[in-house]
Structure 1
Amino acid sequence: MKKIVYGLLATLSGLVLLFSYRTSLGDAVPVAAALDQSSSATGAANPSSSSGAAPAEAAASPTATASATPSAAASANASGLTDGSYTGDAVNTRYGAVQVTITVSGGEVTAVDVPQYPQSNGRDRQINERAIPTLVSETLSAQSAQIHFVSGATYTSGGYQESLQSALDRAAA
């Protein structure tokens, strides 16, 4: 009988601890500030992030556009990417659309902007304020869409990767 009582108390204690565990991601850095830092770290200015528009304003327009605007003096490089700014497809995920814009200079991706990403509630914002700068950093390091997903932001990471690939495809065309 004692063993049963101790077993039930241990199970109950374990359940209380499990349900009281806080899954907070800690302090978050605003996405716009993190994107500005990552673009200045690469030595390139990101024209779309310096426009003064907040990511929330950019995400307010739900139109799914796919455009490529290469610069007037666009040139193909050894990497196969043409200099310019390229916007990938807006990819719908379970929590909202994700869209990536890349800037190519000297045949390399020099800046990445994410004008559209899930931010409909506090939890989405908290996750993506951590995930987006990590994905941008991964992109600038890898110079391709072969990047690691961010744990806890799997849907955003998948949408980001798909949109990034479409932007890279446009830059290679």
Structure 2
Amino acid sequence: MRRIAIVAAATVSVVVLLFSYRTSTDRTPVPPARTASPPTSGAGAGAAVASGTFTGDAADTRYGPVQVRITVAGGRITEADAIEYPQESGRDVRINSAAVPELNQEALQAQSAQIDTVSGATYTSEGYQQSLQSAIDQAHR
């Protein structure tokens, strides 16, 4: 009888844990980049890329807006900076102080908005990708 009670309690505990597991349901898709290749300024496929500094539109996320500014020179992204991102709580600051530099580096390496999401900073990553794509689109005008 005691064994049955322990098994029943363990089963109930597992079921409660499974139902309390939170999954992300806000999966805002990131629009694809215009081209699969890095932006180039030479004569080729698509519009020429202007040199200069371009600020993407702010992307609203669950925890606040994210906005990215890029610098383009010679047809390449030479600098990417998140100029606005969630910093309202200590948790926001802790998460984004690690995530934002990683996202900036990813943007420089990828030369597009098709960058990896930073684990633990999904909403910031998705907002960053959207704003980065907006800045890249401005450079192509």
1:150 has 2:114 as partner: no
Give the TM-score normalised by the residue count of structure 1.
Answer: 0.58
Determine helix, strand or coil for the equivalent of 1:103. Answer: strand
Letter in 2 for 1:171: A
Equivalent in the alignment of 1:162 = 130
Letter in 2 for 1:77: S
Residues matched between the structures, number: 114
Give the aligned CA root-mean-square deviation in angstroms: 2.4
Letter in 2 for 1:125: V
1:107 has 2:71 as partner: no
Determine helix, strand or coil for the equivalent of 1:112. Answer: strand
Q: Matches of residues 15-164 of structure 1 in structure 2 within 5 Å?
A: 77-78=41-42, 80-164=48-132
Distance 2:7 2:50 in 1: 66
Determine helix, strand or coil for the equivalent of 2:80. Answer: strand
Structure 1: tracts of 5 or more residues without a match: 19-75
Equivalent in the alignment of 1:54 = none
Distance 1:161 1:113 in 2: 12
**Cα offset for 1:7?**
2.8
Determine helix, strand or coil for the equivalent of 1:113. Answer: strand
Deviations 1:94-122 (A, max 9, x none): 10010000011111001111110001001
**Cα offset for 1:145?**
0.6
Distance 1:100 1:3 in 2: 59
Give the TM-score normalised by the residue count of structure 2.
Answer: 0.71
Determine helix, strand or coil for the equivalent of 2:67. Answer: strand
**Cα offset for 1:137?**
1.3
Deviations 1:14-51 (A, max 9, x none): 8xxx8xxxxxxxxxxxxxxxxxxxxxxxxxxxxxxxxx
Q: Identity rate of aligned residues, in percent?
A: 55
**Cα offset for 1:11?**
6.5
